[in-house]
Chain A
Amino acid sequence: MQTPMNDLIDELRAACGAQHVLTEHDDLRTYESDGLLQYVAMPRVVVLPGSATAVAETVRACHRAGVPWVARGAGSGLSGGALPVVDGVVIALTRMRRILEVDLVDGRVVCEPGVTNLAISQAVGPTHFYPPDPSSQIVCSIGGNVAENSGGAHCFKYGFTTNYVIALEIVLPDGQLVTLGGDELDRPGYDLLGAFVGSEGTLGIATKITVRVVPTPESVRTLVAFFDSTGRAGDAVSAIVSAGMVPGAIEMMDQLTIGASEQAAHAGWPLDAGAALLVELDGSLAECEAQLQDLRRICHETGAHEIREARDDAERAIFWKMRKAAFPAMGRVSPHYYVQDSVIPRTRLTEVLERIDELAREYGLRVGNVFHAGDGNLHPLVCYDGNAPGEAERAEELAGKIVIACVELGGSITGEHGIGVDKKRYMPTMFGEDDLAAFQKLRCAFDPDGLANPGKVMPTPRLCGEVPGPYREHPLEKAGLAERM
């Protein structure tokens, strides 16, 4: 029987090529979750367009049919941002992975959304690099980075994705292709580019991305200092920042995560250390050398009992492997874990770590701490055994209390992973009704029909009023997926 959905699938086959339209259950299963596996939803169809035109035709067809869609990059996101809408369309950008242009005079790279984060740095190295470096950079796509405004270990000094994206070609939810920003950095007009980056796929799909790349620093010095406790290491962070230093990265790991990572990276770090502080200075040779002395002195003064400096690139890579392996390595010490991404003002670090310890004891669960200490972005890893009755729920409750504690200290519910579906319930702890209403104004300007990644970011589904015009039934209303408020 020919249904409206079958008609849509026919149109998608015409737009993307039949072999790039997946409708079989076994094929669709690959796409039922992103990097956050506890959320699962089965789409009706997955399309893999090969060009901006095909993306635009796909979105236009969905718009005509009133069917919601979710854009997806590598699927490595940790907030369920790419979770499909049940029986909706997933638009996977993984086939669009060409680097279109490299211009080192202006410091620009133009690429398609499916290009991996690391591939950009590789395309401009060794003289230049692309600073935002999420731990998943080997696999995560630049399109996903744009959607999530991804951070990484080096953003304390260098900033986030949003500070490096200068132009986007996007497909709006009605299928129209529009360019935001441009080759020039200081263009007049509304900063729609700034509003789009980090909008988690709810305002449209980026089909062409221009980023800035910067010269590779002349000198990089990486050291790790070991402390008795995370509190002591936190004091060191405060002292480093107060001294006016802006290191490329300041990362902290606690004893539990050092132990887990050691099993994966074998760096030979002391397993009895209460905390490891990984600090990377980069910049001019002279300035790095001068700051390195200060850094060593500060670490000693704040109680570091051992400091190791990476002797060469190979050792530096091992240090970083320890840090970047922390999430996956946690699987070696706990059957399951729940990752949080809250942020606190850096000066509240000791306070919040004590609170996390208290909560961990109260719930009888282990919490590993690994975080971007420079910018106060915590990644508590709440360990649990999903097979033990009630433990998953307790872990989630504990994680929620950590989030709330961070907001109460003046922080944020997410520093780099995004809201997605996972954290939208915490949005009201940070934002009031008027704040959410203002967010909705922006969303409605881009997507009045609510078809782009519905059910994400906002705590409760809401629809766009017309400006101006008579009432008409919303596609989601019609489908019983949302109510008018």
Chain B
Amino acid sequence: MSSSRQASRERVKPTSPQETAEALQAAAADGRSVRVIGGTTKSGWGNVVPRADVELSTTGMTKIVEHNVGDLTAVLQAGVSLARAQETFAAAGQMLSVDPPYGAKKAATIGGTVATADSGPYRHRFHALRDLVIGVTIALPDGSVARAGGKVIKNVAGYDLAKLMTGAFGTLGVICQVSVRLHPRPGLTATAHAPGEDPATLAAAAAALAVRPLEPLALDVDYKRGNGAVLARFGGVTAAQQAAGALEILRAAGLPDATLVEDDEPLWRRQRKGQRAAGGGTVIRIAGTPRRLAAALQAADALGARAVARGAIGTVWIKLPAADSAEQIAAIEELRARVAPSPATVLDAPDSVREALDPWGAPGPATIALMRRVKERFDPGATCNPGIFMDGI
């Protein structure tokens, strides 16, 4: 996943989990490192590392293996693009309830999305990708192909390696195939859109909605330099009616200009877009809590940055304004100081920025020691994406 300045020496594009495992085993046998790539929409995330000996692309595995319409499940090979998978599911009135930005050319793959644990506004209602992946097939550097989980939504047989692989950035093996749980697409949607200027008021209004027995599909906050809004999206035949109920709560919470938006997709496209930076920009993801939301928005304000936040989750994406590397580094450090103890992970950023500071931030020493023990068991020779992950794993 990490960017490297030169191309790798060897490129492979296996077409099956078995071939993937063989490629990993061959590399491991003579100590060569492997960089795993999918749609390369997030290849700039993680630590900057020397180029790998082998570049392994999952885009040779592009089969939608199963779409079990009646069961609301699907089995996808890692290289299937998220956009294509969603089109397939949409044809049956269904969706994979994860909606991160699809990246340049909509090339984001399901494998890369799982590996990076990326998410979008539907994180609010449908949990994270870790909660939607019900099975996984991984290729390991010892040449084995291992499966965990299965194809049914309820299953506690064996260890949940699917969760372990989600967000591991391919450092424990290569995700070749995943089974996912699907949901019905909401027939209609409507959004309560409540503009406001003050970060604390916006955060408080989002919190006021979050504790009510409403069931929005998404509950976001948008904020940049005094222009902000709380957005609550509802679905179902009564979407507009539900959104109207939310308007009252938002108005009572100090956002009198709240309005109902029925053609709401552009609003949410903009929210998703706020999670990424194109062309040398910098985005930091803060893993916060609802209580810390106001402070995160105020930190964005101090830096003149745009913030896109999941109101009831507390996760915030901060997009820094254009600046040179030294200024960006200073801004990231200031941001981290302001939002502590929330982890602030640098996602998109120029190499010069990611080289100058730790994109991951530091976890506790006991936790990192345990992470290293897991890494040593799954990838003892540090074959898979060495160095790109937290603490240089």
Known: A217-B215, A411-B152, A423-B157. A445 touches B373 (CB 8 A): yes
Return the contact of A190 from the options B68, B168, B312 (Cβ within 8 A).
Answer: B168
Q: Which of A51-59, A340-348, A358-366, A475-483 contacts B (4 or more CB under 8 A)?
A: A340-348
Is B105 at the interface (CB under 8 A from chain A)?
A: no
**Assembly CA distance A90 to B239 (angstroms):** 53
Known: A412-B157, A444-B377. A186 touches B128 (CB 8 A): yes
Interface centre among A189, A435, A437 (most CB of B within 10 A): A189
**Assembly CA distance A194 to B148 (angstroms):** 13
Return the contact of B377 from the options A215, A241, A445 (Cβ within 8 A).
Answer: A445
Identify whether the interface residues of A are mostly helix, strand, loop, or mixed.
loop
- CB–CB B159/A198 < 8 A: yes
Taking CB atoms, residues of chain A closer than 8 Å to B166 are: 191, 194
Return the contact of A244 from the options B184, B214, B364 (Cβ within 8 A).
Answer: B184
Taking CB atoms, residues of chain B closer than 8 Å to A269 are: none
Return the contact of A189 from the options B148, B290, B371 (Cβ within 8 A).
Answer: B371
Interface centre among B131, B150, B368 (most CB of A within 10 A): B150
Return the contact of A377 from the options B154, B167, B342, B377 (Cβ within 8 A).
Answer: B154
Taking CB atoms, residues of chain A closer than 8 Å to B212 are: 215
- Min CB distance, A174 to chain B, in Å? 11
Known: A198-B160, A345-B71. A179 touches B374 (CB 8 A): no
- CB–CB A195/B289 < 8 A: no
- CB–CB B127/A442 < 8 A: no
- CB–CB A345/B68 < 8 A: yes
How many A residues, CB 8 Å from partner? 90
**Assembly CA distance A187 to B166 (angstroms):** 12
- CB–CB B238/A286 < 8 A: yes
- CB–CB A218/B213 < 8 A: yes
Is A105 at the interface (CB under 8 A from chain B)?
A: yes
Is B280 at the interface (CB under 8 A from chain A)?
A: no
Is A323 at the interface (CB under 8 A from chain B)?
A: no
- CB–CB A195/B163 < 8 A: yes
Return the contact of A284 from the options B154, B213, B363 (Cβ within 8 A).
Answer: B213
Is B88 at the interface (CB under 8 A from chain A)?
A: no
Residues of B190-249 at the interface with A, using a CB-CB cut-off of 8 Å, are 207, 210-215, 236-238, 241-242, 245
Is B291 at the interface (CB under 8 A from chain A)?
A: yes
Known: A186-B287, A347-B68, A445-B370. A376 touches B152 (CB 8 A): yes
Return the contact of B167 from the options A127, A191, A197 (Cβ within 8 A).
Answer: A191
Residues of B129-167 at the interface with A, using a CB-CB cut-off of 8 Å, are 130-131, 138, 140, 144-148, 150-161, 163-164, 166-167
- CB–CB A284/B237 < 8 A: no
Contact with B along A271-290 (1 / 0, CB 8 A): 00000000000011011001
Q: Which of A20-28, A31-39, A159-167, A311-319 contacts B (4 or more CB under 8 A)?
A: A159-167
- CB–CB B215/A185 < 8 A: no
Known: A215-B211, A415-B155, A419-B158. A438 touches B144 (CB 8 A): yes
Q: Which residue of A lies closest to B285 (CB)?
A: A186
**Assembly CA distance A414 to B156 (angstroms):** 6
- CB–CB A442/B157 < 8 A: no
Contact with B along A400-427 (1 / 0, CB 8 A): 0000000000111111111100010001
Contact with B along A83-99 (1 / 0, CB 8 A): 00000000000000000
Is A229 at the interface (CB under 8 A from chain B)?
A: no
- Min CB distance, A133 to chain B, in Å? 14
Taking CB atoms, residues of chain B closer than 8 Å to A155 are: 154
**Assembly CA distance A417 to B157 (angstroms):** 9
Is B256 at the interface (CB under 8 A from chain A)?
A: no
Known: A185-B314, A290-B238. A192 touches B374 (CB 8 A): yes
- CB–CB A430/B145 < 8 A: no
Known: A188-B390, A432-B147, A438-B138. A376 touches B154 (CB 8 A): yes
**Assembly CA distance A194 to B136 (angstroms):** 14
Is B250 at the interface (CB under 8 A from chain A)?
A: no
- Min CB distance, B207 to chain A, in Å? 6
Is A471 at the interface (CB under 8 A from chain B)?
A: no
Is B91 at the interface (CB under 8 A from chain A)?
A: no
Q: List 16 A-B contacts (CB under 8 A).
A: A105-B211, A106-B291, A159-B131, A179-B366, A187-B363, A188-B363, A190-B164, A241-B70, A242-B70, A375-B154, A410-B150, A411-B150, A438-B144, A439-B159, A443-B159, A445-B377
Q: Which 7 A-B pairs have the closest CB atoms?
A: A194-B163, A438-B146, A244-B184, A347-B70, A184-B287, A441-B377, A412-B155
